[in-house]
Chain A
């Protein structure tokens, strides 16, 4: 069974700070996705990365897929309260599996 780990589990920062969250596995994934989930709603897709070493930017969010396609990171620059939520990574390999998530709180 392929597993994804995410760190940190919880993160509370002040508005304007930068942060990085990590998604790691011992397995290789053909693609990896990042989602954000807000309370009472389903996850919303942020990005899909496919190629090892790939970097994608979405406004203040930067996503990187590891060279070996086993890990990924999400970096947020100048975090805003609207970034608050649960950040989930999900990998497609033998199956489709989600990590446990990083719960981010950005305080004004």
Chain B
């Protein structure tokens, strides 16, 4: 079974530029998550999709961050314009979320995209 795919793996941009990240979840997984992990910290949930609908985006800085999951499969996360403090690893995860049993919420993570804003 293929895992969660993310691209690019690394990105360096200047502040005020725009950047986009792509994620392809595990086939059949209805729920997709985007996390921001700043160096030395745990991942922080930015947005959670259930199929192509948003379940939770309470911690997404909506003035500069946007995300979409058209057709309920792959997803893109965009930052426009980027700030220095956006330097982090952006992780995508997916889960089956059948709602039945403890395993239904198990999240599978991609390798992440390391963003450096200079």
Contact = CB atoms under 8 A, between A and B. Distances in A.
Q: DSSP majority for the B interface?
A: mixed
Contacts of A41: 109, 111-112
Contact-residue size bin, chain A (C-beta under 8 Å from the other chain): 20 to 34
B103 A42 contact: no
Given A41-B111, A42-B91, A42-B111, A98 B43 contact: yes
Interface of A: 4, 6, 31, 33, 40-45, 48, 50, 88, 90, 92, 95-101
Nearest to A51: B102
Given A95-B58, A96-B48, A44 B41 contact: no
Interface residues of B, number: 24
Given A42-B110, A95-B58, A48 B103 contact: yes
Contacts of B40: 100
Given A31-B105, A42-B91, A88 B112 contact: no
Contacts of A98: 35, 42-45
Contacts of A101: 41-42
A48 B105 CA distance: 9
Interface string B6-46: 00000000000000000000000000010100001111110
Contacts of B103: 48
